[in-house]
Structure 1
Amino acid sequence: MESIASDDWEQKCSGLNLLQLLIAQYPDTVTQNLHQVVLVLIQEVKNLRSQVARFALSTFCDMFKYLKRNMDIELDLTIKAIIQKSAESNEFFRSDAEKCLQTMVDNVTLQKALQALIAGGASHRNPAARKTSAKCIYLVCEKLGPTKILSGTRDITERVLQVAATFASDGPPEIRWYGKKIYHMLMPFDELDSMMKHYLNPSAYSNMCEILDSIRAKGGVGETPSESARNNGRRTLSNDKLGSHGNLTNQFSSTRKINTADQAEQVRDLTKQMRSSDFREHLSGIEEFQKLCELETDTAIQSLVQIFDGFNDCLADMNSKVVLKSLNTMHQVIPILGDALSSVINSALPLIAQSIASKNREISQLPSDIIDTAIEYIDCGVLIQPLCTLSQNSNLRIRPEIVLKLANLAPHVCQSKPKQVEIHLLPTFWELLSLLRGQISTNIAQSASATNGLNSSIHILTTALYTELGSVLLEKASSSSSVTPQNLQMLRELCTNLNTE
């Protein structure tokens, strides 16, 4: 514990390595001090050093493997921390967190795991965290089996039916898929309908009946949508580039359906509806766009620029119903279209962001989820420029949230797009740093506890950049004419504070 508590990250890793050996060879000793160990590991999972955070996740994995049901009493704390880590944009963290949770499902009491997963991630604001929770809850349900789930045991039947119904109506398709998959598992059993009536409210019951009818009509729920959707979008973009050299028709015909006259007419009609003066036509056009993305993805991808000429008008509409419908649709089609949205995201993102300032709570909360989903499914090199532009130019009601999203995107960009770091990310950071002029670094650090505020967001962006770039960040700042001596000193103090945290 003393080694793990050290300020030296290498010493921390040595301590964590020793702890893993103790867990494997002397599990009873660790069990006697279980709560203390868990609290220490939770802090290290949050560590800004990625090596330490990943080592802590690996240690939790060993605890589930060797301590098994002794971990039941600590599940609420541990699962919440692990799911929170799965919400980060770093793919390594997500993979480590999922591996850890799968090990947990295999070794602890299933009912306890179910309760902790629902409490820790089912209603999480971040779609990646909800997806991780949904996946693990599905794994738990597979192990429990339909008979146990439909036994009428309140802690199991009620929880599973309610959370799966929530997942089945979520925005991202993969979360919906896990919710539908749980119900698909239960569909052959006669007790399902009576249990649904008992445990679901009338609205949720009606919605689930429609979903189950759709599953029956399709003969199942199909494969997990995320990978196929992402690969479809990337394949389309690749073929577009190949086609530009003179073989466009041949490349398209080998990978997707030819756009028939009926499909072209369908696109013209829904675009016309989106541009109508009647808001009901707007809503109908938006709904048709979503159906097109779900049922004729290739046709939607080929026509995105044309469709978004109308869809962008809906995002900026004066009618709140139209804006809400547009935002919800955007949230749901991003995982389907993936990187194919590269051609339109620059024009759509500012319109999405402006809804952050809406007085309508439903509307104001959606842009954050949409941008999180975009970061997950769209190439970071495409998103960095519009997010940097918004971070510099948007109004003060919008900017703090956008800077937070830029901080979420920063690890992706730093790891895979070094030129974009130089061209877009660092110049934007220097501009934001200048907004802190006249404030000492300790004030900035204290402001990080606030839920909103530009100071807090800039502090979080600084942390993200320093975590990825280390001393290179200070070197770049020293050589930039955009960074004043006062701001450079402020940055140095802030980075020093981060090293001691």
Structure 2
Amino acid sequence: MMNGLRKLNGLNMISTLSETQPKLVADNLKEVIIAILNECKNLRSSVSRVAIVTIGTVAQNLNSKIDTEMEKICAVLLNKAGDVSNAFIRDDATDSLNKLVKAATAGKALQGIIMAGAKSKNNTIRSSCANFVHDIITIQGSSAILNNPAALSNVLPVLIQFSKDQSPQVRTPGKQSLCFLSKDPNFERLMRKNASESDIKIVKDVLANVEKRGGVDSLESTANLAGSLSRIGSTRRVQKKLPDSLQLDLDEIRTELLASGWERRLTGLQRFEEMCSHACRAVASDTRLIESFISRLGDTNGKVASYAMETYLSTMGSMAKLYSTEANLKAVLNQLTFALTAHLSSKSEEHKHLARTCIQQTIRSIELVSLLPAMTAATKKSNLKQRPFILSQYCELCKLAYKSKPKQVEVTALPLLWDSIKNGPPDVDNKKATQLLAKTLAKLISEKQLLDLATAELDPNRKKQLYELIR
């Protein structure tokens, strides 16, 4: 977790430096870009997304100085922009590519985008590539392409390829680009001068087909109906595509959380964290997904278990209220507390520390009355090594909950006290924990009432033991 925070701080520093000291960043651009691109591939989404955004910020602040690194950047960002499994990373990458295209020299941007995505086997990447190519051509202007034999020979075969693609999401921007070029008043003359006869024939056939189907306006409506990736700045894509992507994410995250390979389970945790930060209600509605996540808290792979507890902490801000209010999440609180309590007897100091932190944060964040039954069950089930800490935290929970629900605290906590006195472990730490519970309840209920209640539950010797504990 600390390593992740250091990386986030480093990325934020680069963003700031690119604005305040652009020359310093430009002088070390190659090393800076390599470092950022490495973090774009980070398993932890909070780091990956910041790295993706940082690339866009650096490009925006350095303008054409970014040209030298265009191909490397486009290769990574276009791949992220075509990530069908994560709508949020896809949107971040698209935004950064938008900034990159506007900042770089149009020719360099066009070359970088084409090399990165034109021949991809991924439909979404090709679609994203085709849309960006259309945007760059629009920015650059038709005459700049048609008057430059090198530029035309570079882009025309790609546009023809796009216009004949099997996917309508790729064909549409390809055809739109050819239609844009055809509106140049010198289009036919410049095509005859700078393009091959075979390419000219194919382009004419494509344009004739578009005209036959209703012209360029029909392409826009076809694109909308097909649900294609829209061009930069369009809000239609988000509105139309996000619900489908969201559902796809929920299903795939659950599959990855339950995967046999530990690396896939790590990826599932990273995506779970990402989803919680942006669509926590969608996550909360999927009980099977929540249960799959909780199962990772007790993962047999230590690295996965640690990552799961870190993820639990990082998602607490967005999920705490839902654990308190949603019936299906309240139902899994027992599983959650059992999973965290299990780590209190771990041989790993890291696991013990994380589990303690998770339990403390749970008590601070989740509504107390909802949490009380689950914490009571976890405390009752705890073993010799787990009980001292979990019982101390249970006492804190009782103090806080007693202010609003005194009767519920008495109903749940008193049987636990009687059981601890009757059957409590004999070691020093557990005796101290039982004493803490006794003193806590004596303070909340009053010593006299506690001893009166004990008369019906404890024999004289054990009642005397209780008396000694609270004195």
SS of 2:42's equivalent in the other structure is: coil
Read off the aligned partner of 2:191 and give its amino acid letter: L
Structure 1 residues 334 and 137, CA gap change in structure 2 (3 angstroms): closer
Alignment of 1:98-497 (within 5 A): 98-151=94-147, 153-154=149-150, 156-188=151-183, 189-190=187-188, 191-192=190-191, 197-198=196-197, 200=199, 206=202, 208-217=203-212, 218-222=214-218, 224-225=220-221, 228-229=224-225, 378=244, 380-381=246-247, 415-421=280-286, 423-426=287-290, 479=336
Residues 383-420 of structure 1 show CA distances to partners (whole Å, capped at 9, x for unaligned) of 86699799999xx9xxx99x999998995586452244
Query: Are 2:85 and 1:96 equivalent residues in the alignment?
Result: no
Measured in 2, the distance between the counterparts of 1:389 and 1:46 equals 21
Q: CA deviation at 1:481?
A: 9.8
Amino acid at match of 2:21: Y
**2:15 is equivalent to residue 20 of structure 1:** yes
Closer/same/farther in 2, CA of residues 141 and 382 from structure 1, 3 Å limit: closer
Q: Secondary structure at the match of 1:124?
A: coil
**Take 2:252 and 2:88, find their aligned partners in 1: how far apart are those partners?**
25
Letter in 1 for 2:49: R
SS of structure 2 residue aligned to 1:378? helix
Q: Is the 8 A contact 2:294 2:336 kept in 1?
A: no
| Alpha-carbon distance between aligned partners in 1 of 2:267 and 2:19, rounded to the nearest angstrom | 40
Measured against aligned partners, the alpha-carbon deviations of 1:299-352 in whole angstroms (never above 9, x if no partner) come to xxxxxxxxxxxxxxxxxxxxxxxxxxxxxxxxxx6759xxxxxxxxxxxxxxxx
Does the 8 A contact of 1:388 with 1:424 survive in 2?
A: yes
Out of 3, 8, 12, the residue aligned to residue 8 of structure 1 is 3
C-alpha distance in structure 1 between counterparts of 2:313 and 2:191, whole Å: 49
Structure 1: which amino acid aligns with 2:133? I
Give the paired residue count.
319
d(CA) in 1 for partners of 2:316, 2:79: 24
SS class of match (1:47): coil
Mapped to 2, the partners of 1:85 and 1:72 lie a distance apart of: 20
Amino acid corresponding to residue 160 of structure 1 in structure 2: V
Kindly name which structure, 1 or 2, has the bigger radius of gyration based on alpha carbons.
Answer: 2
Deviation at 1:96, TM superposition (A): 2.7
AA at the equivalent of 2:66: M
Letter in 1 for 2:14: L
Question: Using a 3 Å threshold, how does the CA distance of structure 1 residues 58 and 385 change in structure 2: closer, same or farther?
Answer: closer
**How far apart are the structure 2 equivalents of 1:425 and 1:480?**
17
- One-letter amino acid of the counterpart of residue 207, structure 2: L
C-alpha change, 1:418 and 1:51, in structure 2 (3 Å) is closer
Deviations 1:239-291 (A, max 9, x none): xxxxxxxxxxxxxxxxxxxxxxxxxxxxxxxxxxxxxxxxxxxxxxxxxxxxx
- Which residue in the other structure is 1:454 paired with? none
Cα offset, 1:181, TM superposition: 1.1
Are 1:82 and 2:81 counterparts? no
The letter for the 1-side match of 2:52 is L
What is the CA–CA distance in structure 2 between the aligned matches of 1:194 and 1:53, rounded to whole Å? 47
In 1, the alpha carbon distance for the partners of 2:177 and 2:171 equals 10
8 A Cα contact 2:294 2:339, kept in partner: yes
Q: Aligned partner of 1:165: which letter?
A: I
Cα 1:166–1:431, aligned 2, differ >3 Å: closer, same or farther?
A: farther
Q: Name the aligned partner's letter for residue 64 of structure 1.
A: A
Distance apart, 1:37 and its partner CA:
0.7
Aligned to 2:26: 31
Using the TM superposition, give the Cα deviation of residue 30 of structure 1 relative to its aligned residue in structure 2, in angstroms. Answer: 1.5
Runs of 5+ consecutive residues of structure 2 not aligned to the other structure: 230-239, 320-331, 355-471
Measure the CA separation in 1 of the matches of 2:255 and 2:175. 39
Residue equivalent to 1:264? none
Change (3 A) 1:226 1:8: farther
Q: Conserved in 2, the CA contact under 8 Å of 1:388 and 1:406?
A: no
- Structure 1 pair 225–27 and aligned structure 2 pair: CA distance change class (3 A): same
Letter in 1 for 2:109: A
Q: Whole-Å Cα distance in 2 between the matches of residues 104 and 80 of structure 1?
A: 12
Structure 1 stretches lacking a partner, 5+ long: 1-5, 230-332, 337-373, 446-460, 497-501
SS in 1 for 2:129: helix
| 1:184 to partner: Cα distance | 0.2
Greater relative contact order: 1 or 2 (C-alpha under 8 angstroms, separation 6 or more)?
Answer: 1
Query: TM-score if structure 1 supplies the norm length?
Result: 0.49
Q: State the AA in 2 paired with 1:34.
A: L
Shift of 1:173: 3.2
Q: Do the aligned partners of 1:181 and 1:221 also contact (CA within 8 Å) in 2? A: no
In structure 2, the CA distance between the partners of 1:147 and 1:388, relative to structure 1 (3 Å rule), is same
TM-score if structure 2 supplies the norm length? 0.52
> Deviations 1:408-439 (Å, cap 9, x if unpaired)?
89955864522443x343566799999x98xx
